[in-house]
Structure 1
Amino acid sequence: MKTRKILFAILGAGLLTAGLVYAADHADTPAITGKTTDITDVYAFQAQTSSNMVLVVNTQGLLTPAATASAVFDNNTMIEVNIDNNNDNVEDLVIQCVFNNGTMYVYGPIKPSMTGSKSVVEGAATASVAVTPYSATAPITATQNSLTVFAGPRDDPFFFDLDQFKKILAGTASSFNNPGNDSFKGTNVMSIVVELPKSMLGTTNGKVNIWAEAKRKI
């Protein structure tokens, strides 16, 4: 039987989190903003089980509750989490998330056969999970091959006082207020969450650089 490899090329902006645990970008170019390829946030943090790491990629920011009800992941888009474990800013491992027919398939972490702006789906899926619908009363998760995964809508965790930020830029304010105003309150994102053992990240010094990309099938 012949194995078919599908090529993906970068479309959404990559969000570098080198040395950090969080990065966000809620304002993109008109070509990307509001699209299913729009990455809003990348998170990386230690799980409740201290030997595990949680990786989160949020997409499709600023979804109203009405828009969330009809929001879906894109069949033609791969969300790729890149892991650099030797600090050369080149991905040594990737976790690839591909949506198809109501299910999110997760591949890796695995050494990629190509790096940079183009990718192919690597190997067989490590785990898969049904996408949680907006109407669900509880999130749907699945644990397979040491990975626990989730895909579906979530309340946007990003907190930012956009109005005050604009005032600071305009010179009419010098600092943020305490408490601030959450400009993104009441909006949602489409989220992909992967929890995995730290040992699968391939690092020898406990440090990794992590960034995510949205890549379109070509």
Structure 2
Amino acid sequence: MKKSKILLGTALLAVIGLITVAADHIDAPATQGTTADISDFYAFQGENTDNLVFVANVQGLLSPIATDGASFDENVLVEINIDTDGDSVEDLVIQAIPRDGVMHFFGPILPSYTGKNSAISEMSSVRGEVAITPYGSNAIIATSDAGIKMFAGPRDDPFFMDFARYGEIIAGTATGFNNPGADTFAGSNVLSIVVEVPKQMIGTSGAIGAWVEAKVKQ
């Protein structure tokens, strides 16, 4: 097992009800513009209501030209943390790491460590993999023997924010957002990691907490 250390420890806490969204586009100085920069995290009930879907987006604000050459970093582990008992400590993790054009998934499983360090659970029997979808191609989706669905690849940035209007509000020259506003992220892309997990693998029927971290291998 290989130890990993947090490069970006953005705790995007999400208590799952119907849908939860957290965003951090280029806000963390230590990772701004790097391959470990988390832009969004989404957690919601799947179209199949017996499943939960987790979406972690990295490398936000990619132009179409930049997206064509962008790739997941093989030195960056993306870890989705799941808290099932309300103590804000991960009880389960889902790990995703790319190798040679394939995104490898481990979990949901018990973490080897909690907090800032992680060990990639390469020996876990709860695992799956999916070929990373190239830019401009139809989505490649894989399903593991355990019924976990997986995707990794570029997608249109789904987050909506009118930053110009936001700046005016902060400066005191405007009092509210326009409806509709101007989407600052229109036409930009992200690299997405999507995993859909049967609820029974989470092991709880109540609310859970979830957050995502990007960790660099040491």
**Fold in common (TM above 0.5):** yes
| C-alpha deviation, 1:19, in angstroms | 2.0
Return the letter of the residue paired with 2:129. Answer: S
2:129 is aligned with 1:128 = yes
Describe the superposition over 1:127-168 as per-residue Cα deviations: whole angstroms up to 9, x where unpaired. 1000000031x1001001211000000000000000000000
The CA distance in 2 between the partners of 1:39 and 1:172, in whole Å, is 31
Return the letter of the residue paired with 1:128. Answer: E
1:1-218 equivalences under 5 Å are: 5-19=1-15, 21-122=20-121, 123-124=123-124, 126-136=127-137, 138-144=138-144, 145-203=146-204, 205-218=205-218
Does structure 2 retain, via aligned residues, the 8 Å contact 1:129–1:140? yes
The CA distance in 1 between the partners of 2:85 and 2:29, in whole Å, is 35
Identical amino acids, percent of aligned pairs: 50
SS of structure 2 residue aligned to 1:15: coil
Does structure 1 retain, via aligned residues, the 8 Å contact 2:8–2:30? no
Does structure 2 retain, via aligned residues, the 8 Å contact 1:13–1:213? yes
The CA distance in 2 between the partners of 1:57 and 1:29, in whole Å, is 16
Unmatched 5+ stretches in structure 1: none
SS of structure 1 residue aligned to 2:201: helix
Describe the superposition over 1:44-67 as per-residue Cα deviations: whole angstroms up to 9, x where unpaired. 011110111110000000000000
Does structure 2 retain, via aligned residues, the 8 Å contact 1:17–1:42? no
The CA distance in 1 between the partners of 2:95 and 2:131, in whole Å, is 16
Does structure 2 retain, via aligned residues, the 8 Å contact 1:84–1:90? yes
Return the letter of the residue paired with 2:90. Answer: E
| C-alpha deviation, 1:185, in angstroms | 0.1
Worse-matched range after superposition: 100-109 or 15-24:
15-24
The CA distance in 2 between the partners of 1:209 and 1:87, in whole Å, is 7
Return the letter of the residue paired with 1:212. Answer: V
Return the letter of the residue paired with 1:184. Answer: F
What is the root-mean-square deviation of aligned Cα atoms in Å?
1.1
| C-alpha deviation, 1:111, in angstroms | 0.4
The CA distance in 1 between the partners of 2:12 and 2:67, in whole Å, is 27
Unmatched 5+ stretches in structure 2: none
SS of structure 2 residue aligned to 1:40: strand
